[in-house]
Structure 1
Amino acid sequence: MAGDDEQRLKIRPCLKSQSSFNNYPKWKHKLRENCYRRVREDRSRLLWKLRFANDQQHKNLIKSSLEVIVSDEIQKFKNSYHSASLDNSKFSPAPDDTIWEYDGLDEAYQGDCEEMLLEMQRIFYEDLRVEETKEQGSTGTWEDEEDEYLACAVFEHMTLNEKGGKEVWCPICKQGELKENCHLIYCTLCGLRLNRDDEINLEVLRNRLAEAHSDHLDKGCRLKPKFCVETRFTLNALYVTCQGCGMFEVVI
């Protein structure tokens, strides 16, 4: 009888070894990997937001954006686990399935969120510093081209002049400055002419150009959009187009 009891003790599975706690390092690695990848993938969108933020908003904007990424990735894991559980409800879960348990997710988020956010910030700023340390004339990666595009977009449409006013650069020739009178918005260098009224002025155009660049970035396209003026139904309109993502929208 004693021998039988001893044998049962040997073959009885260890519940603690199958707990989500012991599988936690495996789950944490997956979460970290996905979050760090998202920082790099969403870098252009974060960078665009920072271009328009003042010093006081900068820190809060970065923190809140990274927190959204972490929360979003955790929710994806929860949804994935829930769907898999429904599909395999007739079968016993494998030991590795415990890494997706809700309790494990919540506990991991509470215990390691701050460390993860700090590392995500480091990755974000490190990627920015890489641009400054590259040798002159080296072949640029798509991140370099993306930063150049963002910088040009801001320079063309949001540049502050020495007096503190906001200049609006022509989106077509990219060299002339846009001006306005009581009837027209026009470029000082090229032939751009747009009708002006009480609802359409230079300030509205400046904001719409910034929104057009932001909307294009949200599509995930890394090509530079182009602007053109077309006459349709006897009305002149400024359009933004991109062959890469198929964007074709009215700016103003």
Structure 2
Amino acid sequence: MEDRLPKRLPVKTHQPNWKEKLRENCFRRVKKDRASLLWKMRLQVESSTNQKEIMESAFRDIVSEELKKIKGSFLDSNVETSNSAVEDSDILWDYDGVHTSSQSAEGECEKIMLELQKIFYEDLREEPISTELGEYDGTWEDKEDDYLARAVLERMQLSDGLVCKEIWCPICKRGELRENHRSIYCTLCELQLIRGDEVNLDILQDRLAEAHTEHLDRGCRLTPKFCLESRFDITALYMQCQACKTFEIIL
């Protein structure tokens, strides 16, 4: 997505044009928060919630938050500005991300929001989503991100036909989770959970998605780890994160 950043326009003042700066900051923010947006998309696709409205709200919040940061940097700056820079920044103060008295600022922010959505969805479709885990050279965070992209796109394109789902093991990150009439297990490591009457692979997948989403919503960007622990003669899957002290049962 980095190479899709808009090219810089000629700057006539010593201070960057706020519209240009806002656009660049928003693009970088979407790239940084990509995993969080993907999880949010995936959960909304699986539910009855209007996905379009949810994602529009998410992108609008990004634009609004980045705009507030730019306002703050203007207020904190002691650098002298030219008359043209002051006139340009006047439009900025008229727009607060929700209520606006400046059609110019409102139109610019709306345009940026639409650009963010367009590029986000284009990147989602253009990625090599068929890449196999064994051939992937990136980090686990990259693999997880690729898995999310595949899961979201798969759900978006879901028709009445059956879709073959691949669920990676959260512990070893290499094996595939499968199930039989007795248990849910990993094809490569020791992960094995006894199935109950109402427990299956789909429920485990939903719980993993919910746990990741809740963890991201807390503001923590460290990838959580998963482990099996036996307590009171019951073996369960737990998620833990040293950064935010999360420790919760998944299934």
Instruction: Give yes or no for TM over 0.5.
Output: yes
Q: How far off its partner does 1:191 sit?
A: 6.7
Q: Do 2:22 and 2:67's aligned partners in 1 also have CA atoms closer than 8 Å?
A: yes
Task: Determine what percentage of the aligned residue pairs are the same residue.
Answer: 42
Alpha-carbon separation, structure 1, partners of 2:41 and 2:128: 18
1:60 match: 53
2:9 match: none
Instruction: Give the alignment of 1:186-197 within 5 angstroms.
Output: 186-187=183-184, 192-194=192-194
Q: Given the alignment, which residue of 84, 95, 113 partners 1:117? A: 113
CA offset digits 1:203-251 (Å, max 9, x no partner) = 7655322212324555324x5x553321235543321246898754322
Q: Structure 1: 5+ residue runs without aligned partners?
A: 1-21
**Structure 1 pair 44/220, CA: closer, same or farther in 2 (3 Å)?**
same
**SS of corresponding position for 2:61:** helix
Alpha-carbon separation, structure 1, partners of 2:162 and 2:126: 33
**SS of corresponding position for 1:52:** helix
Q: Given the alignment, which residue of 19, 23, 37 partners 1:46? A: 37
TM-score (norm 1): 0.58
1:149 match: 147
Structure having the larger proportion of residues in helix:
1
Alpha-carbon separation, structure 2, partners of 1:76 and 1:131: 31
**Structure 1 pair 212/127, CA: closer, same or farther in 2 (3 Å)?**
same
CA RMSD of aligned residues (A): 5.0
Alpha-carbon separation, structure 2, partners of 1:231 and 1:161: 40
Alpha-carbon separation, structure 2, partners of 1:112 and 1:23: 21
Q: Do 1:24 and 1:104's aligned partners in 2 also have CA atoms closer than 8 Å?
A: no
TM-score (norm 2): 0.58
Aligned length: 214
Q: Structure 2: 5+ residue runs without aligned partners?
A: 1-12
**Structure 1 pair 42/130, CA: closer, same or farther in 2 (3 Å)?**
same
Instruction: Give the alignment of 1:13-92 within 5 angstroms.
Output: 26-54=17-45, 57-81=50-74, 84=76
Q: How far off its partner does 1:79 sit?
A: 4.2
Alpha-carbon separation, structure 2, partners of 1:214 and 1:180: 29
**SS of corresponding position for 1:126:** helix
Higher relative contact order (CA 8 A, sep 6+): 2
Alpha-carbon separation, structure 2, partners of 1:65 and 1:104: 18
Q: How far off its partner does 1:168 sit?
A: 8.2
**SS of corresponding position for 1:220:** coil
Q: In terms of Rg, which structure is larger?
A: 1
Alpha-carbon separation, structure 1, partners of 2:227 and 2:247: 10
Q: How far off its partner does 1:70 sit?
A: 0.8
Q: How far off its partner does 1:170 sit?
A: 6.8
Alpha-carbon separation, structure 1, partners of 2:62 and 2:138: 27
Q: How far off its partner does 1:68 sit?
A: 0.9
Alpha-carbon separation, structure 2, partners of 1:32 and 1:191: 45
